[in-house]
Amino acid sequence: MALWSATAGHVHAAPPPVRSVSGFPAHDAKRESTLFGKLRATDAAVIGKAKTRGSFATDGDRLRPVFATPPAEQLWFPEDPAAHLGNGLVRVRMEASASLDLSVLVRQRYSGDPPELLSGYGASLEGQSLRLHRWDRGMVLPLGPEAAIGSKTAPLEKRKTLELVLLMVGPQLVASVYDGDTLEHIATTTAHDTTYAFGCVGVRVGPKHDAKAAITAITAMDAAKHASTVHMPARGRRYGVMPPSDVTPFGNTRYAWIDADALRRLPKALRGAVTAKLATPEGERAVLFLDTVGYERLRRSEVAVLAVDSNIPWKVENEAFRAREGQPAQRRGRGFVLDDSYKDPALVEQLLRAYHERHPKLTELVELGRSHAGRPIWALRIGAAKSRDDVPAVLFNGGHHGSELLAIEYVLDAIDTLLAGHRHDPRVTAWLEQLDIWCVPLVNVDGNHMFVHESRFAIRKNAFDGDGDGHADPFEGVDLNRNYPFGWGGPGSSDAPMHKWYRGPAPGSEPETLAMMGLAERERFAAVLSFHTYGTDVYSSYVVETKRDLEPDVPKAIGIELATAGGVQPNDRSYAVRKGPYPVAGSDQDWYLHEHGTIAFVIEGSHHNPALDVRNEAIAATRPLWMALLDRVRGPWVGGHVRDAAGKPVAAEVHLAEIERFEGERWTTRARDGRFDRAVARPGSYRVVVTPEKGEPFERVVKVGARRTDVEIVVK
């Protein structure tokens, strides 16, 4: 559907709240046969032949009894073969009145012409009540309970029209009455009876009926005739078989696209549902956000529905993004304008290239890998150290979850702040000279692309086409933050491919996860922040409760320092350190700690995709937190190298004897230069225990002050 490729337009208020009216049986024009009148404004009225007892007028498309004096029972049976059915749906629309005496007949047989001696069922509206009846050769019996269709607060005479829907499934009969204008549910009654299985649809009008209250539509759907087979194709390359994607939109909400010119003819009650107006290559369009009832009312109006789906891309509701898309990056100060919109993979790449071009000596642009869909995952490395082998590496990443747009902004803000501050702000200059800072603003490139450009229901996962039908559905894919190997498969993750916490078929199965793990293997980060939204939380490893923390708990101690530095966020809350707020097995920060001894945190920001002014506040309020981490890696800290006499890196495990481990952690030196980084909670004397791959363990005692202490360990 090409409607998504909109480039300009304007956005109205947020979608209206969805009313809790569900389960309304929408008119199915393909399967429901109209026996009389019309349901949709645009349809031609059907006035078919009928067998009647008594006299009926069909003025225009209104069917009403013309009573003799005194009035007596009258019957109307259409001759249309579609009126004969056993299982299915019968729908009747009528004008409301305080004095109704009318039965919608189903599964009826009768004798004679004019018809007499009814045998079958009917749903009767009598005064202010609804009830099911059975006729046996003219004798009538009530079935099941009576349900009120009028009350003191909502009397029947206050309504204009009613719609009665009768569902028949074997011995089960269900009759419901709705307000014909709002489609609001009024009453339902049910009965179970095995006497009659098949027969004709008709109408019985009793002598007390208000002759002015006409019927305007009668439809019938024969379930037997229209039973449809849903084929489950034998695909499922990797994650099993899933239903075909070309089915009725799911859920209780709909996005309906109409021609913007048709807005004038939109029923008044639906005007509040207009969510966006935008230009498309096909013309000016309006998008309506509707529940199933609102959608049904739109379908029955004069307005043509051009397209309907249960989701729209996020960008349809975001004018700022649509204005930004396709425009070059704009310079501001020593960086670029970041606060004019949220980003997609293309805008992130554009910005990273632009920063690299402006600061070629301070940066390196690195492609870490490619997603399932072939999108590059980009890192910008920032540093001014004489040799990056001599300094700890730190990583900021964002966007493990595709819809968490603010998370990307936190990392872009770090890039901009660092590059603007070098040689202008002594604190920033010190970070760049003494650290090697990696920034990956957007890990989940496919998930983000799908959220922004295809479906706002694509929330966390990586949009992998798991069933192999050539099309990624919004619920497909893997939650990358459940895919890391440490604790993989544990609590808070799911093995169900459509689950929001789907962990993937194997630990580290996803290219995005592998790209991040590969980077960590090469760089052995001293510290990592993974930005997410939202919660105003700092998650400290280990977040899975069954995993035992380090003793002393160095990550938690540092996490508290960061949370404190973060201060009050624009939601009036301060960051708080949490462990296991809910268990999250297979997350990145636990893996970083377990695999490499990295002090890693998930930072859950204060908002989820807020308005841009709140974005700016949130970014500014979280800046002190990541700055505190960069300060903290400069000390107190133990770092250094393990090398041989010739200066070549030595593969070795390096631990601090004072920090106990319980989960089999083996933290080894970096391959390219033998570097290690081990955080400590406070200054003091520490024993560095070195276990070379080939050789005996030995210890070195180091005194750690306020600044980082690097020790050069030579293995003979």
SS3 174: strand
HSE-up of residue 330 (Cα within 13 Å, Cβ side): 10
Q: Are 270 and 288 in contact (CB under 8 A)?
A: yes
Q: Rounded to an integer, what distance in angstroms lies between the CA atom of residue 504 and that of residue 510?
A: 7
Q: Rounded to the nearest whole angstrom, what is the least distance from the CB of residue 328 to Zn ion in the complex?
A: 30
Minimum gap (Å) between residue 447 Cβ and Zn ion: 10
Quote the CA–CA distance of 123 and 104 in Å, as a whole number. 5
CA distances 179 to 149, 150, 327, 645, Å, are 10, 11, 50, 89
Closer CB to Zn ion, residue 182 or residue 494?
494
* Residue in 27, 532, 594, 615 binding Zn ion, rule: CB under 5 A: 532
Nearer to Zn ion, 275 or 403 (CB): 403
Shortest distance (Å) from residue 400 CB to Zn ion: 6
Residue type, 16: P
Residue 404 vs 416, nearer CB to Zn ion: 404
Give the residue with the Cβ less far from Zn ion, 18 or 529: 529
Residue 231 to residue 469: CA distance in whole angstroms: 14
State the minimum distance, in angstroms, from the CB of residue 605 to Zn ion: 10
Beta carbons within 8 Å of 711's beta carbon, 6+ residues apart: 638, 639, 640, 688, 700, 702
Q: Closest distance between Zn ion and the C-beta of residue 401, in Å? A: 4
Exposure string of 150-179, with b = 16+ CB inside 10 Å and e = fewer, is beeeeebeebebbbbbbbbeeeebbbbbbb
Give the range of 347-355, 359-367, 373-381, 393-401 binding Zn ion by CB under 5 A: 393-401
What are the residue ranges of helices labelled H in 398-486?
405-421, 426-434, 445-453
- In whole angstroms, the minimum distance from the beta carbon of 492 to Zn ion comes to 12
- State how far Cα 160 lies from the chain centre: 39
Give the distance, in angstroms, between the CA of residue 671 and the centroid of all CA atoms in the same chain: 41
Using CB under 5 A, count the residues that bind Zn ion: 3
Q: Give the pair of three-digit tokens for residue 239.
A: 């994650």
H helix intervals, 533-663: 554-566, 588-596, 612-633
By C-alpha distance, which of 34, 86, 278, 113 is closest to 198? 86
542 preceded by a cis bond (ω within 30 of 0): yes
Q: Give the shortest CB-411-to-Zn ion separation in angstroms.
A: 13
State the minimum distance, in angstroms, from the CB of residue 446 to Zn ion.
15
- Residue in this structure with the two tokens 């320092």, named with its chain if needed: 561
Which of 544, 579, 583, 580 has its CA nearest to residue 559? 579
State how far the alpha carbon of 63 is from the alpha carbons of 10, 370, 440, in Å.
46, 66, 69
CA–CA separation, 219 and 89 (whole Å)? 8
User: Shortest distance, CB of residue 534 to Zn ion, whole angstroms?
Assistant: 8
482 binding Zn ion? (CB under 5 A):
no
Cβ contact 65:58 at 8 Å = no
Q: Which two structure tokens, joined as six digits, stand for 541? A: 């490893």
What are the strands of the beta sheet with 363-370, ordered from one edge?
363-370, 376-382, 436-440, 393-398, 527-533, 599-605, 537-540, 576-578
Amino acid letter, residue 32? E
Pairing of the two strands 527-533 and 599-605? parallel
Residue 401 or 503: which CB sits closer to Zn ion? 401
Shortest CB 399 distance to Zn ion, Å: 9
Cis peptide bond N-terminal to 71, omega within 30: no
Q: Where are the alpha helices (DSSP H) in 132-271?
A: 223-226
Q: By C-beta, is 203 or 625 nearer to Zn ion?
A: 625
Q: How far is CA 59 from CA 47, 52, 214, in A?
A: 10, 16, 10
Structure-block tokens of residue 219: 């439809």
- Contact between 75 and 131 under an 8 Å Cβ cutoff? The reply is no
Cβ nearer to Zn ion, comparing 77 with 501: 501
Least distance in Å: CB of 378 to Zn ion?
A: 19
Q: Which C-beta is closer to Zn ion: that of 404 or that of 454?
A: 404
Quick one: 325 or 404, whose CB is closer to Zn ion? 404
Nearest-approach distance from CB 588 to Zn ion, in angstroms:
10
The smaller minimum CB distance to Zn ion, of residues 108 and 513, is found at 513
Q: Which two tokens stand for residue 375?
A: 């999108």
CA distance 23 to 20: 10
Q: Choose one: 48-56, 253-261, 451-459, 528-536; the region binding Zn ion (CB under 5 A).
A: 528-536
Residues 562 and 543: their CA atoms lie apart, in Å, by: 17
Nearer to Zn ion, 401 or 596 (CB): 401
Given a contact cutoff of 8 angstroms between Cβ atoms, the answer to whether 714 and 645 are in contact is yes
Within 395-424, the residues that bind Zn ion by CB under 5 A are 401, 404
Tell me, residue by residue from 199 to 218, as one string, x for binding to Zn ion by CB under 5 A and - for no binding.
Answer: --------------------
Task: Using the minimum distance from each CB to Zn ion, give the nearer residue, 375 or 460.
Answer: 460
Closer of 215 and 450 to Zn ion (Cβ): 450
Q: Smaller CB distance to Zn ion: residue 401 or 453?
A: 401
Using the minimum distance from each CB to Zn ion, give the nearer residue, 532 or 632. 532
**Nearest distance, CB of residue 612 and Zn ion, angstroms:** 20
Nearer to Zn ion, 350 or 494 (CB): 494
A 10 A CB-CB count for 248 gives 8
By beta carbon distance, the residue nearest Zn ion is 532
Residue 450 C-beta: closest distance to Zn ion, Å? 15
CA distance 100 to 207: 10
Taking the complex as a whole, the smallest distance from the CB of residue 516 to Zn ion amounts, in Å, to 14
Q: What is the DSSP letter of 698?
A: E
| Stretch binding Zn ion (CB under 5 A), from 141-149, 232-240, 394-402, 676-684 | 394-402
Q: Quick check: 587 and 484 in contact, CB under 8 A?
A: yes
| For Zn ion, the closer CB: 297 or 460 | 460
Chain positions contacting Zn ion, by CB under 5 A: 401, 404, 532
